[in-house]
Structure 1
């Protein structure tokens, strides 16, 4: 069975209201994005259209940092969609973030990977159904909203530990004032690092009765969506998302899918594949993608696909492509310049 990743993204009504409060008419955004005005009343778009909307907002607002801060703080809680309401009314900040990461799968294209270690909690932004990175404005808004969620939920002026962006985001000082921490540009990934102790803070907005209504419905929707994909492609997507995050063994993937590793292996066998083969395919596909970017050093590519030893990566790549990573990259770059 072929995997199915929905390319239908529903824009929450609060988005257009937030723009209106900032003095940006929805019609102007639609026109700037070269999209039909019907997206305002029937706000279901493709990934490409979704990215175009965010790019249009970025161009209309002018200064990226100001656009990020203004929209993150202008979004009214009452206009949150059910997937976000289930986080806003969570028991504490940790529960909210875990719910956000889980239910993000229902509203692509963003995905979140949360790693708690020592005194820190790192949340890395990725993309569900596209290899194309999202617009910088969308990246900034997503990370800002994660902190905004904690501030609104706890009722406290929380500060981040560090924020990393892969691309420029405008006024660094404005962003540092908002996040309350250093901002790093040109990083390898887009990541928000929080103080782990903040995750234990209870939410003043906690609503057990509402969660009892929302959670089962959201879980059913998520399970139905996951069943529409092949297990092999789902596992490969999880592997790709986790290659640089630590564990990429079958136990870790099975836990994320809420099943035993034995059940997962059986499901993969039914689809005529194995976890080891999918791990190899994921590394191979990611290696080709990263090597196509000349700004990444070979040793960085090795690390990004989960190899601690650069020599091991060289040996694996020669088996995959019959050439060294550097020679393969040169050949691809030469071909693209013709």
Structure 2
């Protein structure tokens, strides 16, 4: 398996299942996977999703399934989560969660702070396949659970949004302590920004001095083993909408300076500007193949502020207008 497709399931996952009255082997059988996965828990993304889907099928209600987030005992936290649990405050904990989550895809967390709220968007790394609803629900629930355990306070979310039905909405609202929106465009948790300053009673500076350097080194080694070009293009694709990602922002997400990023891209025979053009071109073709999107929307989705700029760029790429390209390709697909 490549680093993109190598996921280690923490032992605490199986322990928590048992505490809910669900035998780990029952989940594995339901997922139609080898029973050895329980003792040798390194799986592919597809297998990982199958395990979560099997758990969901056995629980039979996504809202009830979030009990797994509250039942996951601290002593079973993997090192990446321990580093967050023993952080200085809630903001530090969430930052560490997002950073170290890069070592165990496919979930990816994007955190942004604005005005009185902090928003955490759940996205997927290196896979076009959306994650199982149960995994989505538990991931967002655990982020709030982390804050509650760390601060020792019954924190409430500001709002929660799910793209698909998640079972009993009332149960979800009772857990998150806020309104839950179903059928949104994404999966995200909004917190009260003031809660991020709350100190963690579980703060352990000595343990962090041991954990953080080891985790940071592992993350750096993992990132070096991947193509920086692929990583930059992936970050660009999820950052294009309504604007153009700059090299400082992308370098920051990768945990390096913009000069280091420039040097590594040069070593791979490309540049930030060339990759941005490639990504816009690739995304333009993908969006234009969807007849439900009008040209203005496509321009916005790939980071152009106006349609005219998009038209000029597209003519350079394809030697024809976006409208003509769409008509030709839609006609060709209908014939096939």
What is the TM-score with the length of structure 2 in the denominator? 0.91
Q: Select the residue among 147, 163, 166 that pairs with 1:166.
A: 163
Matched, 1:98 2:95: yes
Contact 2:119 2:191 in 1 (8 A): yes
Q: Name the CA shift for 1:311/1:143 in 2 (closer, same or farther; >3 Å).
A: farther
Shift of 1:276: 1.1
Where do 5+ consecutive residues of structure 1 fail to align? none
Q: How does 1:213-232 map to 2 (within 5 A)?
A: 213-232=210-229
Counterpart of 1:30 in structure 2 is 28
Q: Does the C-alpha gap of structure 1 residues 155 and 298 become closer, same or farther in structure 2, counting only changes over 3 Å?
A: farther
Which residue of the partner structure matches residue 85 of structure 2?
Answer: 88
Deviates more, 1:200-209 or 1:252-261: 252-261
Which position in structure 2 is the counterpart of 1:7?
Answer: 5
Q: Establish whether residue 261 from structure 1 lines up as the match of residue 258 from structure 2.
A: yes
| Residue in 2 that maps onto 1:53 | 51
**Structure 2 CA distance for aligned equivalents of residues 62 and 297 of structure 1:** 39
Alignment root-mean-square deviation, CA: 2.4
Measured after TM superposition, the shift of residue 35 of structure 1 is 0.4
| C-alpha distance after superposition, 1:12-71 (max 9, x if no partner) | 11111111122211111111111011111111110000001111111111111111x211
1:223-242 equivalences under 5 Å are 223-242=220-239
SS at match of 1:259: coil
> 3-state DSSP class of the match of 1:181?
coil
CA distance in 2, matches of 1:289, 1:138: 27
Separation (CA, whole Å) in 2 of partners of 1:236 and 1:181: 36
Deviation at 1:307, TM superposition (A): 3.1
| Rounded Cα–Cα distance in structure 2 between residues aligned with 1:265 and 1:314 | 29
2:196 and 2:332 mapped to 1: Cα distance?
Answer: 49
Q: Is the 8 A contact 1:314 1:325 kept in 2?
A: no
Cα deviations by residue, 1:61-93 (Å, 9 ceiling, x for unpaired)? 1111111x2111111111110000000000000
Question: 1:151 maps to which residue?
Answer: 148
Q: 1:109 aligns with which of 85, 106, 126?
A: 106
CA distance in 1, matches of 2:12, 2:128: 27
1:19 alignment partner in structure 2: 17
The structural deviation recorded for 1:256 is 2.8
> Structure 1 pair 319/11, CA: closer, same or farther in 2 (3 Å)?
same
Comparing 165-174 with 250-259, greater Cα deviation is found at 250-259
CA distance in 1, matches of 2:208, 2:89: 13
Residue of structure 1 in register with 2:206 after alignment: 209
Which among 192, 195, 218 is matched to residue 192 of structure 2? 195
Aligned counterparts of 2:242 and 2:136: Cα–Cα separation in 1: 19
Structure 1 residues 311 and 99: CA distance shift in structure 2, 3 A? same
Distance in 1, Cα, partners of 2:291 & 2:175: 33
CA contact (8 A) 1:243 1:304 kept: yes
- Separation of aligned partners in 2, 1:255 and 1:82: 23
Give the distance between the partners of 2:49 and 2:324, measured in 1 at CA. 33
TM-score by length of 1: 0.90
Residue 129 of structure 1 deviates from its aligned partner by: 1.6
The structural deviation recorded for 1:108 is 0.7
* Residue-by-residue CA offset, 1:277-327 (whole Å, 9 max, x unaligned): 111222333344455566656555444433343454454445445452696
Partners of 1:104 and 1:329 lie apart in 2 by: 42
Alignment partner of 1:137 is 2:129: no
State the alpha-carbon separation in 2 of the partners of residues 82 and 238 from structure 1. 25
Cα distance in 1 for residues equivalent to 2:328 and 2:133: 29
**Cα pair 2:85 2:93 within 8 Å, conserved:** yes
After superposition, the Cα gap between the structure-2 partners of 1:245 and 1:298, relative to the gap in structure 1 and judged at 3 Å, is: closer
